[in-house]
Structures are given as structure tokens and as C-alpha cells.
Amino acid sequence: MEERLNKSLPPLAYRLRPQSLEEFAGQHHLLGEDGFISRMLARGHLDSMIFWGPPGCGKTTLAMLLAGAVEADFHRLSAVTAGVADIRKIAQIGRKNLAAGDRTVLFLDEIHRFNKAQQDFLLAPVEEGSLILLGATTENPSFSIITPLLSRARVAVLKALDLPASRSLLEKAVKRLEIDYNRRFSVAKEVLEKIAIYAEGDARRGLNLLEMAFINLNPERIDLTLADLAALLDGRELVYDRDGEEHFNQISAFIKSMRAGDPDAALYWLGRMLQSGEDPLYLARRMIRFASEDIGNAAPQALQLAINARQAYEILGSPEGELALYQVATYLATAPKSDAVYLAMKRITKEIKKSGNQPVPMQVRNAPAGLLQELGYGAGYVNPHRDKINPVLIEALPEKLSGASFYEPAGNGYEATVLQRLKEREQLKKGCK
């Protein structure tokens, strides 16, 4: 690290930041000839946008380049540390600029961290045009950004860099390192490939690793090897490719360990993946799916606990938030199992493809107006709460599917209670015929 400190250089990712949109890596669906951002700039416009994408895909850089492309006054804030007072100051600058015929861009990083009241404050300056808002988020804007703000800003989905783009960027970085340090540096294609895989589309992550490897390399050597990378990373990440066979092997082992009711094996594979650099939110999503697919109504609370674990991780981050994932993995592994809901979904899907669009029975159709009621909508329907009738008399399936059975509880855990209720319902139905 001494060499870098002596040179007083900013990080490599910063030094390689593109100076024009033509140099920007990736995002051809936005910046290519038919991309909506390119078309917008061709008209001389820059509208408010929410950049949604993974870390290291270029959200900040794109905002800076777009502001430069329209010669706008650029301001940058982070929603983690900024507040309404900061927005107010920049909005005042924006109003003065607007009066002078100039544009003002506010780049708000991690905009999803703003609460509803803070996001509400952005509406007026965006609406009046004193601010062009470019927000950046790694979270789904549909859930993290208020609807009024989404209606005033277009969502631009940024993608992680693909392997070819990552390799190309790393090749440029090797040349830049040679220039910056006045020292020869050689990296074989297979080594660049491993760094690109490790980066997983995050340009900043890949460049940081490359520069770290370069700085830690013996000055008497010029070739960076896989062994050097493995030593730098303790050999962990390099044997785990999220798009490779080992990724699928380990996630399969994790799921099957929980399915088999083995908490020790489940914890082991969860730990292996986390320590190898797997995305904790990916593992949380897999556990949410497992809660519905492999547990279902045998332990209905499993789904909520899995969702809670994901939320806990989002609040705490790593490493503290990983404890919630470990906790829920043990619960899912030891909970009673049932795939009855999953099988019901498959049966339903198959039946709908087979029988097509069957009409809704008249008695359960919505009948809000007199005309629809005259046409027979809702005819014969009685509310089992209000009219004290036996609910088994209400036929809600299409006529051609009357009597069909899709959900067949296995009888494990809480499903034993569900199964008993369905048996009682069937007996009541037979008694009413």
C-alpha cells in the first residue's frame, strides 16, 4: 500500500471514470441509438429519472455525464446523510438558475433511504423544473419511491456489466496502472476472466481488486497469477462463481438440507455461500420461496419469518444481518414440511391451460349496478356471515370444473387442522345434497 500512498492517487475506479457518454461502458439499452436516454438527449432534453441497478453499474457516473451533456449545474447528495434542509438549499439555487435560463441537476444517491416526507419535499422543485432529479437506488422503485415522485420521473433500469464489458474495462485498467506507476504489468486472460467473474458486474469491485493485486505484487515481478489472486482473497471467492456449477451445487445442497430437516447441513451450506461472497439477499429470496414451496401451510408463519429475515438483513447489513439468515435457516429446516400449495399451483396452471377461460358463475360475479343485477350478476348469492347460511352451498368454481380438487393438504403440522376442516366441509356438502 505504501506505493499508492506515495503516489497520492485516487482509487483506480475514479481514475478510469469515463469523461463522455461515448466512453461509458454498458447500458446500450439506454445509451444506444434506440435507447430512450439517447433519444431524449438528441432533443436537447434531460428529464428527471430514477436509476435502478446493482452496485458498480455506473449510476453516479451516468448522472455526472448527463448533467455535463446538457451543461447543467450539477449537485450531488446522499440520502443517507442529507435531509430536507440540503434539498431546500439546492432547490433555491435551481430556481435562480432556472430564472437565468440554466438547468440544475440534483443527483440523490440511495434515494430509497429518504422517507415519505423527505421524498414529498422533492415534488415541488421537480414539478416546477427548478431541479432535474436523478435518483439512484439498488431497491425496486415500486416499493421504495412514492407514487407521486415516480409519476414525475422515469425509471431507468441499469444492468450489471456483462463479462465481455468487464474484461474490456480491466484490460484498460492494466494499461492505466502501467502509466500511473511507470511500471510494467502483465495479466493473463484467464486471470482477468477470474477477476471479471469475481466482480459480478460491479466495475468498482473488479477494479479495486485489480489495483490491490497490483500494489501487493512484488515489484520485481510483472506477471499477476491466479495464485496471487487466491492469496489475496484467501482462496475463497475464486472457487465460487455465482453463474457457475459450484453456485448451483451449493444452493442445491442448502435447499435439500432444509428439505431433509437437517439444520446443521443447512447452516454449513449457508455459511459456505456467505463466506464465498454470495449475495445475502439472494439467499434470503431463496428461503422465502422455500417457505412457500416446501413448508406452506404446515407452518404458515414460516413465510413471514423468512420475509422478516430479509428485512432484518436490509436494515443491519453485513455481518450483523447475516445472523437473521442463520436463524431462519434453522427454523425452516426444523419446521414441518408440505409441498401441497406448490403442487396445487402446478395443477391449477395445467387446468387453466387445458380448459381455457371458463366463465365466472353468476352468483359470485360482482354486481354493483342495477343493470348488472338485472342481467343476473350476483343472483342467488348469500353472504355466509350476514345470512347465516352454510358456506358450502356457495359454488364459486366454473360450472365445468365443479367438484375439482386442486389443494390437497399433506396433513403435516398445521395442515392437519386444515385437512380436518376440509373433510368436515366435504361432509357438510354431501349432507346438503
What number does CATH give the domain 162-239?
1.10.8
pLDDT band at 1 (very low <50, low <70, confident <90, very high): very low
The pLDDT value recorded for residue 426 is: 79
Write the single-letter amino acid at 99.
Answer: A
Q: Which grid coordinates belong to 209?
A: 481488486
Residue 366 region by backbone torsions, left for phi larger than 0, else alpha for psi between -120 and 50, else beta: beta
Average pLDDT over residues 120-126: 95
pLDDT at 236 over 70: no
**C-alpha distances in angstroms, 156 versus 79, 188, 317, 324, 370?**
19, 35, 25, 32, 45
Q: Which grid coordinates belong to 202?
A: 460491479
pLDDT above 70 covers what percent of the chain?
Answer: 89
- Of 418, 266, 287, give the one whose Cα is nearest residue 340: 418
pLDDT band at 205 (very low <50, low <70, confident <90, very high): confident
> For residue 173, how many other CB atoms are within 10 A of its CB?
24
Q: How far apart are CA 72 and CA 133, in angstroms?
A: 12
- Of 294, 298, 267, 300, give the one whose Cα is nearest residue 283: 267
Looking up cell 415541488 gives: 124
The pLDDT value recorded for residue 6 is: 45
- Of 259, 67, 24, give the one whose Cα is nearest residue 158: 24
The pLDDT tens digits of the residues spanning 389-431 come to: 666 567 778 888 887 889 999 888 999 998 898 888 777 777 6
Class of domain 245-334: mainly alpha
Whether 251 contacts 289, CB under 8 Å: no
- Of 225, 220, 209, give the one whose Cα is nearest residue 177: 209
Average pLDDT over residues 79-87: 93
The beta strands (E) that lie in 179-242 are given as 186-187, 223-224
pLDDT at 238 over 70: no
| Residue 71 CA from chain centroid, whole number | 33
pLDDT at 328 over 90: yes
Return the SS3 of 159. coil
Give the lowest-confidence range in 100-104, 158-162, 232-236, 241-245.
241-245
Average pLDDT over residues 45-73: 92
Average pLDDT of the chain is 86
The pLDDT value recorded for residue 356 is: 87
| Residue 346 CA from chain centroid, whole number | 26
Write the single-letter amino acid at 259.
Answer: R
The pLDDT tens digits of the residues spanning 161-202 come to: 888 888 888 999 988 988 888 888 888 888 888 888 878 788
Query: Model pTM greater than 0.85?
Result: no
The DSSP annotation for 353-406 comes to HHH--PPPPGGGS---SHHHHHTTTTTT---TTTS---GGG---S-GGGTT---
Domain boundaries, the chain: 26-157, 162-239, 245-334, 359-431
What number does CATH give the domain 26-157?
3.40.50.300
